[in-house]
Amino acid sequence: MRIRRRSFGDFVKAFFAFVALAVLLVGVPGALATQIGWPLPNGVPSLDWLQQEITVHTFLNILTVIVWLAWAQFTACVLVEMKAALSGVGVPGRVPGAGPSQLLARQLVAALLLVGATAASFAPGLSQLGQNYDANQKPTVAAAQQTPGGLFAQQQEQAADTAAALADQASHAAAHADAGGSTAKQGDTKYYRIQPPEGRHHDSLWEIAQRHLGDGRRYKEIFELNKDRVQPDGSKLSEASLIRPGWIMEMPGDARGGELVEMPDEAPNVSPDVQQQISDYARTGDHAQGGGGAQGGSDRAQGGGTAQVSLPDQQRPAGSGSEAGSGHQQATNVGAESDSSFGLPGALLTAPLLAAGLLGALGRRRRQALWQSAFGSVGGRRGMEPPTPSGDAQDVQDALLVGADPEGVRLLDRSLRGLAASLAEESRALPVVYAAWLSNGDLHLQLAQPAGKPPAPWQQGQDQTFWMLSRTDAERYEDVDTAAPYPGLVSLGTMDDSRLLLNLEAVPGIVSLSGREADRAAVFASVAAELATNGWSDRMTITLVGFGEDLTPLAPNRIRHLEDVEALVETMEAETRQRRGALGAAGHDSVLTGRTGPAQHTRWAPHLVLLAAQPSAEDAVTLAELAADASRLGIGYLVGTETGDLPGAAWEMEITGQGKLLAPLLGLELDAQLLPVAQQRAVVELFVEADPERETNRPANTPPFLVDISEQGRPAVYARLVGPYEIIGLDNPDGERSALLHEALALLLLHREGVHPRVLSSALWPRGVTGDVRESMLERLRAWLGTDPDGTPRLATDGSGRLTLAKTVVSDLDVLRSLYHEATQGKGVGSRAVRGRLLTDALVLVRGPLLADRPEGRYRWLTHEIVDAQLPLLVADTGLALCEFHMEKNRAEKAIEALNAALRTAPADERLWHELLRATHATGDSDRLTALATDLIGRSGARGLPPRTEALLDELLPAWRDAIAAVG
C-alpha cells in the first residue's frame, strides 16, 4: 500500500478530537458531579416520597440520571473503538443501543489516532469528522483498489484523500505513459526482495512498481530488468504474473522507499545471508536481457491492490473432461453435436447457467401470460397457444434448450444458501467472496481473506482462501429459508475446463472492460442477461447505461435503463448516501451482515451498474469516488472503456476479437461468455412475445396442429398422453430402449412444429451423448414408427433440419385441442348441438394429468415446457364451456358432472369452483351447497378461501359461516 503522509489538517483534526473526547469523557462527569451532585435518593424511597409534587429540582435529577447513562454508554463506545483501533484486528463490536453514539466515538477515536501508526485499522467514517457524512467521500485510486476484506481496516486511507489526488495521479500516469514509461532519473542500483504472503495479501510486480516507482504500470520495467535471471532458489522469472517470495528484483534507478536495498554497502538491516544473495544476484545483471513484454502482476494479485482470483487446484481423473461448471452439459455433448448444429448459436450452447436462467425466466413469463389471460377472461378463454417462435428466435430457443443446465443452477443456489444457513447456526459472519469456480461439478469459493474452517460438508481448498464443495455433497443439500448470500455472482467465461463466476458486488472498486465496442457489448449483454435471470439471487437492481438493445423485457422488476452517465452519477450518489445511512443506522458493517442476519431487508439487495459506454475523465473520477466504498454497500460497477486506462479501476479486463477475456493482473485468460447482438435481439423477441401485457386484444393463436376429427381422419398411430401413457397402432419395442423411444415420441408429439435433433438428444441425455449414439437412436425411432401406406416415413426432417411427425401420428392432446378449437371457433359456434357434442367428446378424453405414470428420473425436460400449465387450463376451459352449455337449458346436474370431470385434472382452478358453487346453488339444495363450501374450506387450508370465493358465497349462501360452524 502507498503510505500517505500526514497533513497539517490531520494534526488539527486530531487535536480537536482530543479536546472533544476530553470534554465528553472527563468534562461531562466532572460538571455533573460538581454542579448538580448525587441525583438519586440517599435512602430507600418511601410511599410519601413517591407522592410528593414534582419540582424543578426533581426534574433536573431525572435529567441528570439520563445524562449519566448516556455518558456511560458513550464511554463504553470509546473503549470498544479504542481497543479495535489499537489491536488492528477485526471490526469493532457493537454497543447495544449505541447507534449514533458509537459512530461519533468511532470518528473521534479515529481522528485522534490518525497521525499514529495504527490509523490504517480504523473503521469507516473517520474522515467525515466535522463534515457532512454523505457528501464528502473522495477516495483515491489506490483506496479504490483495496480488497473488501481489508476495507474496514483501510477506510481511513480511502476517505482522507481527495478528488484532487485522483486527478493528480491520473495526470501523472498519463504523462508517464506519454514518455514511453522510461525511467526519468537513474541513480544507484537498488534491489527489492519479494515479501512472503501476509494473510490475503500477495506481493506483485504491479504493487512494487506502485509503491516504489509511483505507477503500477511500470511493472514492465522491473520485469525487463530481471527477466530470465537466476533467483536464489535456482528458478527464473519468465512471466510477470509468476513471482515467488524470497526472489530478488533489481529496481530502476529512480525507485524510492524504505524496503529497497542499495548495494553493495548500504544494507545495515539486511542479514548477511540476504546480503550475499543480493550480491550474487547483482553480478548476473549484465547478461543479455530478453525482449518480450509482460502481461501481469503477481500470480494471484489484482492490479494495485491485494485482491486475488486464481484457478483452484483440480484433481481430475484421466479423460474426465466436462463442460465447465455444469456437471450436466458435458463438453462431449457440445463437441459431438457440432456436426449437426444447423446454425444454433454457439454462444448460448456453451453458457449453461445463462441459458438455464433465460429458459426458466421465459417459462415463467409464458405461464404468467397464460394464467393472466385465463383468469382475466369471462366465460372461458379463446385461444390456448403461445406464439410459436420462428427464424432466429426459434434457433435461440433451441440453443437455450440444449445449453441450459437447470440442475447446475439448482445445486449452486442450494449450496450457497446452505452455506449461509450453516454459518448463521454457528453465529459466524459470511466471508467476502471474490469469485466462484465451477469445475467438474465441484464448487470452489475464493475468499477475500482466510475465514477459518468452513462448515461441513464444505472443505478447505488448496489454501485458506478457498472453500470447496463436491458435487456429491451439494446434492445432499435441500432448500433452506435464507436469503441468497452472493447474488452478485455472474459468469465471465471458462479457463482450463473451469467456469469463473465473478462477484461484482464484492470487487473493491470499478471493474473495467476494454476492447472493441461490439465485443464489449456482447460481454455486457451476457452479464446483464444472467444477472437479470439467474436462479441464485432473490432480488437486485441492475442499472444499464449505454446499451443499444433494451433488455428490460428480460426482467422488468430488476432492470432499469438510464439515458446517460449524468443520470447515472446523480442516481448513484443518492443510492450511496442512502445505503451508508442505512448501514450506520442499523449498526451493520456491510451488506453481508445485513442481508443474512435478523434484519433482512430489501436495502441489502445488490445494485449492479453496467456502464457500456466510456465515461468522460471527470465522470470516471466521480464514479471512482463512488465505487471506493461500493463493496461494503453492496454496489458493483462494470464500466466499458476504449483505452483500457480508467481511473479508479480495481480490476482491468480486456475482451479480444477472438473471444478471449484477458485480465493479466489477475492471471486470467478466459474463453469469454458472450451474447452477441443478433442473439441478444432474438432473446428479447422471445420475452416480448411472451409478455402478458402485450396486445391483450390480439386474435387467439391457432394450435400448431389440428386433427381431422371426422371418421375419415382416423390416425395410424394414436398416443394417449393425458393420463397414463399408452400407444395404439405400434408394437411395444423390446429391451431397455423401449422407455427411451417412448420418451422421444412424447417430445415430438408435444412439439408438432418440429424438434431440433440437438434438442431431442439433450432432452434424452442431459449429461451429453456422442453423435453415433444419437444417430443410432434416431434410426431405431424411424424404424419403430415405420411408414404410411404410401411409403412416406412417419418421422421426417424439414427444411431447417428439425424432426417432424407425419399427420397420421396423433396424440389425445392433439385431439383435445382440435375438439375445443372446433367447438369454440369452428362449427360449434353456429350450432349448439355440434358444440355440445364436441365439448363432451373433449372432456371424455381427459383421464388425468399429463403422462401420469412417467418413470422417476425421466421426462425432466418437461420442466422447461408450459404444457403442464396449458393442459389444466385447457381442461378447465372445456369444462366451463360445457357447463355453460348445460346451464343454458337449466341442466344443473349435467353442469355439475362436467365441472367435476374437469376438476379431476385442474383441481386448483378457482373458476371451476365458482361455477360449481353456482350450479349447485341452481339445484336449490342448501345442504349440498353448505357441504361444498365446507369441502372448499378444507381444501384451502391455512390460507383460507380466496376473497372472490368468499364474496360469491356471501351472495349465494349469506349464512354460510354459521352453517359451516354448525356442521363442523
What pLDDT does 176 receive?
41
Residue 382 has pLDDT above 60, yes or no: no
Query: Which helix (H) or strand (E) covers residue 759, if one does?
Result: helix 757-764
pLDDT confidence tier of residue 748, bands split at 50, 70 and 90: very high
Are 726 and 720 contacting, i.e. CB atoms less than 8 angstroms apart?
yes
Taking residue 731's Cβ as centre, other Cβ atoms within 10 Å add up to: 8
Distance in angstroms (rounded) separating the CA atoms of residues 436 and 696: 43
User: How high is the pLDDT of residue 41?
Assistant: 66
Q: How far apart are CA 860 and CA 30, in angstroms?
A: 76
Residues 497 and 321 sit within 8 Å (Cβ to Cβ): yes
Residue 76, pLDDT score: 87
Alpha helices by DSSP H, 147-239 = 155-160, 163-178, 205-213, 219-226
| Total number of residues shown for the chain | 968
Q: What local confidence, expressed as pLDDT, does residue 197 receive? A: 66
Alpha helices in 463-516 (DSSP H): 471-474
Grid cell at residue 93? 463490536
User: Crossing angle, helix 352-375 and helix 677-689, to 10 degrees?
Assistant: 20
Q: How large a percentage of the chain has pLDDT more than 70?
A: 76
636 to each of 286, 505, 632, how far by Cα in Å? 47, 4, 10
Q: Specify the pairing of strand 442-447 against strand 433-439.
A: antiparallel
Alpha-carbon distance of 171 to 647, in angstroms, equals 10
pLDDT digits (tens, 9 = 90+) for 786-818: 999 999 999 999 888 899 999 999 999 999 999
Cα–Cα distances in angstroms (integers) from residue 793 to residues 478, 719, 772, 796, in the given order: 47, 17, 21, 6
63: three-class secondary structure by DSSP: helix
- Sign, CA torsion 551/557/563/569: negative
pLDDT of residue 89: 43
pLDDT reading at 468 higher than 90: yes
739: its cell numbers: 422407455
Contact at 8 Å (CB) between 889 and 353? no
Which DSSP state fits 442?
E
Q: Please write the tens of the pLDDT for every residue from 111-123.
A: 776 555 333 333 3
Sign of the CA dihedral with 458 first, then 460, 462, and 464 last: positive
How many C-beta atoms surround the C-beta of residue 786 within 10 A? Answer: 15
Exposure letters 356-392 (e unless 16+ CB within 10 A, then b): bbbbbbbbebbbebbeebbeeeeebbebbbbebbeeb
- Could you tell me what percentage of the chain is helix, strand and coil, using 3-state DSSP and rounding each to the nearest 5? 45, 10, 40
pLDDT band at 245 (very low <50, low <70, confident <90, very high): confident
Number of H-type helices and E-type strands within the chain: 34, 22
Largest CA distance in the chain: 114
Whether the Cβ atoms of residue 381 and residue 873 lie closer than 8 Å to each other: yes
Is the previous residue joined to 264 through a cis bond, with omega within 30 degrees of 0?
A: yes
User: Which of 89-93, 101-105, 365-369, 390-394 has the lowest average pLDDT?
Assistant: 89-93
What would the DSSP string read from start to end of 625-679? HHHTTHHHHTEEEEEEESSS--TTEEEEEEE-TTSEEEEGGGTEEEEE----HHH
Give the three cell numbers for residue 310: 486464481
The answer to whether residues 468 and 442 touch, using CB atoms and an 8 Å cutoff, is: yes
- For residue 498, give the 3-state DSSP assignment: strand
Instruction: Cell 445445486: give the residue.
Output: 411
Give the pairing of strands 795-797 and 803-805: antiparallel
Q: Name residues whose C-beta falls within 8 Å of residue 802's C-beta, 6 or more positions apart in sequence.
A: 342, 753, 754, 755, 756, 757
Q: How many Cβ atoms are within 10 Å of 481's Cβ, its own excluded?
A: 6
824 neighbors 834 (Cβ within 8 angstroms): no
Residue 590 has pLDDT above 70, yes or no: yes
Between CA 141 and CA 304 the distance in angstroms is 9
β-strand 489-495 against 466-469: which pairing, if any? unpaired
Cβ(845)–Cβ(878) below 8 Å: no
Confidence check: pLDDT of 287 > 70: no
- pLDDT of 865 above 90: no
Q: Is the pLDDT of residue 328 over 80?
A: no
**More reliable by pLDDT, 296 or 916:** 916
pLDDT-derived band of residue 963, with 50, 70 and 90 as boundaries? confident
Radius of gyration of the chain (CA): 35
Any idea what DSSP says for residue 254?
T
pLDDT tens profile 489-513: 999 999 888 999 999 988 888 999 9
* pLDDT number for residue 701: 61
Burial class (CB in 10 A: 0-12, 13-18, 19+), 641: buried
Sign of CA dihedral 421, 426, 431, 435: negative
Per-residue pLDDT band at 454 (split at 50, 70, 90): very high
Tell me how crowded residue 257 is: count the other CB atoms within 10 A of its CB: 14
- How far, in Å, CA of 423 to CA of 133, rounded? 33
